[in-house]
Amino acid sequence: MANTTAATGLTPEQWDSKFFKQYIQGNAFSRYMGSSENNIIQVKEDLTKKRGDALHFALVNRLVGAGVSGSSTLVGNEEEMKSRSHKLTVDQVRNAVVVPDFEEQKSSIALRDAAKSVLMDWAMEETRDRIIAELLSINGVAYGTASEAQKDAWLVDNADRVLFGAAKANNASNDHSAALLQIDNTADKLTSGALSLMKRIATSANPKIRPVRLDGDKRFYIAFAGPQTFRDLKTDTTITQAQREVSIVMQNNKLFDGGDVHWDGIIVHEVDDITPIAGVGAGGIDVSPVYLCGAQALGVGYAKRWQTTTDVTDYGDKNGVGIRAWYDVDKMTFGSGSADTDDLKDHGVVTGYFAAVADS
């Protein structure tokens, strides 16, 4: 007698594993996510193998001392290796849909398949929204709910990695709202010059913001821009002239690859869901953030990967399928003061604010 067994590809565990893989691949930020310290968004799954709701990202600062030379004594002249930590606390995130009565006739695996697309879209959008919100956050506080005092304190600690418009001088004595008012719709659009300035800010910040390695030893920063600022960048005369002067088709494609703009060691990626901050610029214009990111700009921690669940209620009349994960997203911040978490700095991000006037 031969026993009938379920195909391994149809078991819930296999389905959830496939779901998570597709979720990662389909996420708008997926190309920048990985477990390495070289990734823009570093992913940790330590808690999937042990109990707990928090994990720590570590930073070991580079050595900056001169060392000793010749026959000088090294004993007693060693340099302190400073380290910092960032604590990320995970939480449960979930959603569900009710499958119509007709779907009740199908197997539990079919029920999962029936809701697969909408649940996957929701999970990807949920992660995307968290990443965008974290990039704009003020030391873990949502930008929209942060007080002016909190924004000013953040700016004091991050003044070496924040740019208002086209000039560093627009920072009005670390007064966040006053600095935004310096941004106008003539001089302070996102341009190639502003991008290059943001790159110089990244390389001169203390501590420096590390570029990521792509295609072997090539080093790049990744900038995320909303539709309005990306629009202005594409019409910048320096960018358009560079496009015209690239005579080789292959190189021309690289300059505007898949909608991205490559400039001065920076890959600028348009993110549709980065929205302007309404009415905070000169004359009440909208201003939009642009994030130039290096390695470990954000962290994602998982205690449980995305997985599906089912539920039957109302005497079998209501069949539901849900999805859940235990995870969270943080912008990586490390202390720059005497204690571990004193005077927090955005570790891998230069935040720029630029004019973002709507299309007329």
**pLDDT tens, 89-142?**
889 999 988 877 666 566 655 666 667 778 888 888 899 999 999 999 999 999
Percentage with pLDDT > 70 across the chain: 76
Helix (H, G, I), strand (E, B) or coil at 127: helix
The whole-angstrom separation of Cα 165 and Cα 170 is 7
The whole-angstrom separation of Cα 61 and Cα 202 is 16
Which token pair is 295? 């390695």
The whole-angstrom separation of Cα 313 and Cα 293 is 47
Contact at 8 Å (CB) between 153 and 175?
Answer: no
Task: Determine the pLDDT at residue 159.
Answer: 96
The whole-angstrom separation of Cα 198 and Cα 195 is 5
Residue 220 predicted with pLDDT over 80: yes
The whole-angstrom separation of Cα 356 and Cα 232 is 8
How buried is 198 (Cβ within 10 angstroms: 0-12 exposed, 13-18 middle, 19+ buried)? Answer: buried
Task: Determine the pLDDT at residue 261.
Answer: 87
Helix (H, G, I), strand (E, B) or coil at 352: strand
Task: Determine the pLDDT at residue 14.
Answer: 58
For CA atoms 331, 344, 87, 208, the dihedral sign is: positive
**pLDDT tens, 180-213?**
999 999 999 999 999 999 999 999 998 899 999 8
The whole-angstrom separation of Cα 167 and Cα 189 is 11
Residue 248 predicted with pLDDT over 70: no
The whole-angstrom separation of Cα 261 and Cα 285 is 25
The whole-angstrom separation of Cα 108 and Cα 96 is 15
Contact at 8 Å (CB) between 161 and 334?
Answer: no
* Of 318 and 199, more confident: 199
